[in-house]
Amino acid sequence: MNRNLKIFGRSQHELAKSISPSMTLKLHDFFQHFKGDLIYHHQEQILCYVGEQNLLQTTSKRDQINDIPALRGHLRTMTMPQYQRFQELMLNLIR
């Protein structure tokens, strides 16, 4: 796990206080599903993810939308699986 997860910061002391063993495991789980960088500013309590995944890619049960009922059905059944997985893992990180 240590080879895949690189944690950097300005202050080793602040990192040791902020990144507990539990948080390290949560980060490892997060990066099993998403590739990118996670930036955390401990003073401002800001967490920012930078990655190349298309989190807004949609799936729908409708192939063509030709009228209002088809659009309504598309919007009702549309999902964003990458975003939903990202949201689930991100909430796990901040709890």
The pLDDT value recorded for residue 79 is 92
Beta bridge partners of 47: 40
The pLDDT value recorded for residue 3 is 55
**Averaged over 69-76, what is the pLDDT?**
89
Q: Are 24 and 5 in contact (CB under 8 A)?
A: yes
Nearest Cα neighbor of 31 from 57, 12, 7 is 7
Question: With 70 as the cut, is the pLDDT of residue 28 above it?
Answer: yes
Stated pTM of the model: 0.71
Q: How confident is the model at residue 4 (pLDDT cuts 50, 70, 90)?
A: low
What is the residue type of 71? L
Q: Are 80 and 58 in contact (CB under 8 A)?
A: yes
